[in-house]
Structure 1
Amino acid sequence: MTKTMIRGMAAERAVVPWYHQEQAVSPFETWTRNFVYPIWFKYVKGPYERYQYEHLIAELRGYGLMQDDQHSDKEPVVERALEILPHDLMVGRYRRLMRAQEMSAKKMHLPLESQNYDPMIPYMAPFIEEAKFQLQEEQELLQFHPWDRRLFSGPTTGLGETTPNSAFMAWCLEKDACFTAPGLSLDEPVKADKLGQPKMTAGEAIEVIRALRPGGFAVAEDEEQVHKFAQAAWAKHIEKAQRAFTSRASAAVSSSASPAAPRKTAPAAARVVAQPGDGNCLFHSLAYGLGQ
């Protein structure tokens, strides 16, 4: 039976699919291509496309831009091409864009005597081709597959861009993600996601992190309890871990404030940082640091 299946599969593989076979052109299609389409292109499609092209040329010349300046720098291939762009071309592109932005804000245009140039010169074409080859070579060497990438890890979406916080979806992920967000006071309570969740200040969180990091414990016997708490924070019972974390934060702050219980000095690296791929969550940072 296996041999029969193999022979049948081999016969099926030998069949050329229909989309790889040459399709015969019908007499009606031949007549349409020879007689109808030339008239359509001469009187309808051709003049319309010519008008659109001239309108684009006039708009680019009015602001002193090139067509290659219109490429989005968030697209991965263009982003790589801009990284390998020579310094003089990079400076010229930046100055053209800033000049166009200023003229647009002031409702002005480039002087007419300066508009006699060709905005369709593809100055980025060789660098875009080189960027394609570089990306392809890197993907082949790393055995990359599009399904292997991690989506929404850190300030990028994982869909190809490398500039942090350049996509709106990355903004939504970063908003209120951590107590160390810019502009958050150390004494301001952390915003709770749900009603009834305990709140703590950023100062208390920093104090307890410094107290509970390895090498910075007030009491050596607390290390096992801290590891258990980190595992609980990493598990599903995050609300229960938050309550335990809040109580330990208060205890750590009170013990550090009393002179009778001196606390070890935490190492310089004992601070809340963003771990790769885990976002900026406080509990993820703690579990990442203690669960090695």
Structure 2
Amino acid sequence: MYSRPLFRRFTAIAALAIASVCGSSAAVAGDSKPSVQNAIHQPASRAKIKLSPQATSAVNVLYFVDYSLGTDSFAMALSSLGISPTMTNDATEFNTLLQAGGWDLVIALQQNYPATSTYASSLSAYVAAGGKAIYSDWTSDATMLGSFGAAATGSLNFLSITPTSSAIWTSLTSPIALLNPGWGIYAVGLSPIGDGVVDGTYENGDAAVIVANAGRTIINGTLQDSYNDPNQGIQIAVNEINYLLTPPVASALKGTIIGQSGKASVKCLNESTGQSVTIKTKKSFDCVGAGLTIGTGQTFTVTAKGTVK
């Protein structure tokens, strides 16, 4: 027979479940999230997980997820990409591994326990130093969200996501339906701050995904196991990993010469790679169209020789 205090706690959790189904922005009156954990039902005792990357891995990925109730989308995505991450579900161990450095990509998914303070300083420092990271956090920790160019709107638990045309949504069609696998909070409404850019929205217009830090970070408002079709969740994870590990290629470097007569000689030089192309033109030029390969973060010089009118 339960004692009265324990009965009250389970009553609060039941109220949270009802609020989640209704899409309420407040889980329980006077409290926007559970005080101990996010799972409505107590998860079984978890074993500590750590998998070392294989020597054949092309990139070094650190993957932390404290708990999953449904499909582990990012684990499946990493496997499908042939990436063997260093994986842990322990926040303290994650902090130690993160501080050790050497990571090409860090994935941190705080889904069940309120442990962001354990690694917040290290993850924020990693991002500030130029690191690439994917993050989600059911607790909506303001400091951590701020490091990823986002703030919480206060709205929770949505039905669907409307994607944009960016590479994050490759091979996906709109809308993307969400399904709660048993969390108190499975989707957090976001708004951009700093250089944050909205890349996908919930049905109320809140951001579902924000890309920030000059395209080096992604924050998801949705927990990775909360998609109605698990395959869509895996595809999103694949796309986000590819988005950060494969720098986007600039698509154009073109212009117009003003105030010259006759043909001019335009030299397009990629100073980062040394590649160059030369174009003979009377007015406009297109370096990429002429064969120059260009990428984000590279430096270019365009010089023109001709006769001025």
For normalisation by structure 2, the TM-score amounts to 0.23
Normalising by structure 1, what TM-score? 0.24
Higher helix content, 1 or 2:
1
Instruction: Kindly name which structure, 1 or 2, has the bigger radius of gyration based on alpha carbons.
Output: 1
